[in-house]
Structure 1
Amino acid sequence: MRLLIRRTGLLRPQGVPSPRSTWNRLLSTQILQAELLPDRQSPHYVKESTSLSSLIWDKPLENVLIVKKPWDHNVRESLIQMASHIQRRYPKVNILVEEHVADEVQKQIGAAGVPAIHTGPGEVLRNKTDLLVTLGGDGTILHATSMFASGEVPPVLSFSLGTLGFLLPFDFKDFKTAFEMVYSSQASVVNRARLGCQKMSIRKEITHLPTQSHIEHNSTHVYGNPDDYDLSPLTYAMNDINIHRGAEPHLTKLDIHVDGEFITRAIADGVTIATPTGSTAYSLSSGGSIVHPRVACILLTPICPRSLSFRPLIFPATSKICITASSESRGRGAELSVDGIAKGLVRPSDKILVESETGQNSGIWCVAKTDRDWVSGLNGLLGFNSSFGKGGEASGDVA
């Protein structure tokens, strides 16, 4: 056998890889393009006797997108642990991650024995994902679902690894059991409604801005002449849609119509339009009610209104809300955000249209532990009706 002499002076047989190259291959994970994977499949849902439904796969689950809290060492280790388990226990299941996450975990995930992960642009991930798994807090869920803000969301399995967990029924230590339940079509799910949002932007060449009397008393012209506006693509919110003055020093003036009827002119820091899921977020901080996720409604809550008589409102889920930035507003306009993602300015005479998502698979199907998850979150996270004394017992339980 012919020997090769390396600069180190060591001898090794020709064709035998060096220990370093072998070790590097063992540590490396192939980063594959997600566009090569089978297209996304959608499960169907069967109503249970409780408030929950059953998640049923018509064919075996194939593509799992794992979305993690960014740049957190503990969460990164949890992702690696979960990906390693899934590919050992379910070898036909493909792991997908966002592109920046693939760069973050590539070396470590290879050392854990994961042979390949898939990634690609957001549009590709949307078209390939069967199941959406989140590792983090409520903010991670909002980020993950916002990736599907223009269409149907896959079922969501969430694990608590963040600071807040009102939407997180599972501890990460239970991930093997929870994933097996989903994979084998034995999981229960709860449907959380979404709100659709579009912005009607007044065209720059339009100079005849509507007057206040026109807005208040002529409900047939609430939406204005369509030729005067550019309509943005439809986007969906799991939590809320916020219109806020932002850095502007002046209060914003917003004219609010519901189902074509004028409700009020809000002179305030802004307003938030929330789903029942979002009722425990910004809306709650602004004085809004806490609403159970199975209540079909839309919450409209003023943010620091000038008038103390402007109180939070709750409308039927079928309501169509139109909010117009008054032409009498001072400054550049208000800022629009959907689930915390900035969507640009709402300039004077621009309109924001909001209504509930409709359709057979509307809303977001979230894997649930029990039908008491919401109550547990209300008591455990918000400390609902707890006293300020030691132990924090609910006042109704005090002898």
Structure 2
Amino acid sequence: MTIALFIRTIERDIRSDLGRLEALLTTRGVSVVRIADGRLPEVQVDFILSIGGDGTLLSAARLASVRHIPVVGVNFGHLGFLTTAGKEDVESLVADLLAGRYAIEERTMIQTTCDRMQSCREQMPHALNEVTLHRRDSVSLLRTELYVNGQFVSFYAGDGVIIATPTGSTAYSLSCGGPILTPDSGCFVITPVAAHSLSLRPVIVPDNAVITLRPRSQSASVVLAIDSTTFEIMDGDELVLRRAETTLPLVRLNNQHFFSALHEKLAL
């Protein structure tokens, strides 16, 4: 078995824990490689261990989904809602992985395409959590037309709009009043951010829907955030979002359940 370790930054306080993890894996007969420069190694990898918090896992997901490699999150960060285990649980985690005591959840991702006025189509990276359109400054309203399957839904005026997967429904969308979706719900949630209207509320659509966003804010600087990566958006750009063909295989241990994680980590 080969396991790749994904670490965004190696802080001084995790070096000893990381060394113990590598030694533990090696003594159990596991071949260990590190992912360097954001590139997957040439060898076949059975698992990617994401070492950090949820932000690190989002970065690892982008790499893993390309080759459909299962991701195991080991929480060296703070919240770690998406992670499988904490750093204090690595011995039992490794034992469970080697014994096959785990399940794989196929997590939906979002594919985003930007159609520019000059007829230039730009393919964006896939999102595991959410795609967010928001204003850069704090003065001007962001005005956005929203369409689902070509049908006009509403005109959003406010700080922005979030399109979240079930995985992302417990992240930024939740903070903005969006509902919690179970990982297998097969939906996206569209959540306004600080809407300048009493009637705009989150909308749930099936994940086979095509969502179109048309920002119409000539005076506001608009930013598109795909998980942790940002892009500048120009007035007149059209963003088309749909379910990505690729999914992220996320590892869950057999004793882990979604609602238990909500109680434990989000105090539901």
Q: Name the TM-score, length of structure 1 as normaliser.
A: 0.63
Would you say how many aligned residue pairs link Structure 1 and Structure 2? 268
In the superposition, relative to structure 1, how do residues 146 and 235 fare at CA in structure 2: closer, same or farther (>3 Å)? same
In 1, the alpha carbon distance for the partners of 2:222 and 2:22 equals: 43
Q: What pairs with 1:154-193 in structure 2 (closer than 5 Å)?
A: 154-193=69-108
CA distance in 1 between counterparts of 2:43 and 2:141 reads 42
Q: CA deviation at 1:83?
A: 1.1
Structure that is richer in strand per residue: 2
Q: For the Cα contact (< 8 Å) 1:66–1:79, is it kept in 2?
A: no
Q: CA deviation at 1:148?
A: 4.5
The corresponding residue for 2:34 is: 96
SS in structure 2 at match of 1:84 = helix
**CA offsets, 1:152-187, max 9 Å, x none?**
441011122211021123222332332243244442
Structure 1 residue 371, shift from structure 2 partner: 6.1
2:143 paired residue number: 253
In the alignment, what sits opposite 2:223?
Answer: 335
- Look up the match of 1:45: none
1:243 aligns with 2:133: yes
Aligned: 1:202 with 2:117:
yes
Secondary structure of the 1:166 match is coil
Judge which range, 264-273 or 64-73, deviates more: 64-73
- For residue 19 of structure 2, give the secondary structure of its aligned residue in structure 1: helix
| Conserved 8 A contact 1:69-1:140 | yes
**CA root-mean-square deviation:** 2.1
Residues 169 and 373, structure 1, Cα contact 8 Å, conserved in 2: no
Q: CA deviation at 1:355?
A: 0.8
Corresponding letter in the other structure for 2:234: R
**What secondary structure, in the 3-state scheme, does the structure 2 residue paired with 1:174 have?**
helix
The structure whose Rg is larger is 1
Match of 2:170 in 1: 280
* In 2, Cα distance between equivalents of 1:313 and 1:269: 17
The amino acid of 2:129's aligned partner reads N
Unmatched tracts of structure 2, length 5 or more: none
Letter paired with 2:82: L
* Cross-structure match for 1:139: 55
Q: Deviations over 1:213-240 (max 9, x none)?
A: xxxxxxxxxxxxxxxx211124211100
* Partner residue in 2 for 1:345: 232
- Local SS of the residue matching 1:345: strand
TM-score norm. by structure 2 comes to 0.91
For structure 1, list consecutive stretches of 5 or more residues without a partner in the other structure.
Answer: 1-60, 99-120, 204-228, 385-399
Determine helix, strand or coil for the equivalent of 1:236.
Answer: coil
Among the aligned pairs, what percent are the same residue? 25
How far did residue 266 of structure 1 move? 0.8
Cα drift, residue 369 of structure 1: 2.0
The change in CA–CA distance for 1:383 and 1:139 in structure 2 (over 3 A counts) is same
| Aligned mates of 1:323, 1:139 — CA distance in 2 | 25
Asked if residue 383 in structure 1 is aligned to residue 267 in structure 2, the reply is: yes
CA contact (8 A) 1:69 1:75 kept: no
Whole-Å Cα distance in 2 between the matches of residues 154 and 126 of structure 1?
A: 13
Q: Tell me the distance in 2 between the aligned counterparts of 1:80 and 1:316.
A: 44
Q: Is the 8 A contact 1:198 1:233 kept in 2?
A: yes
**1:295 maps to amino acid:** S
- What's 1:211 paired with? none
Q: Secondary structure at the match of 2:204?
A: strand
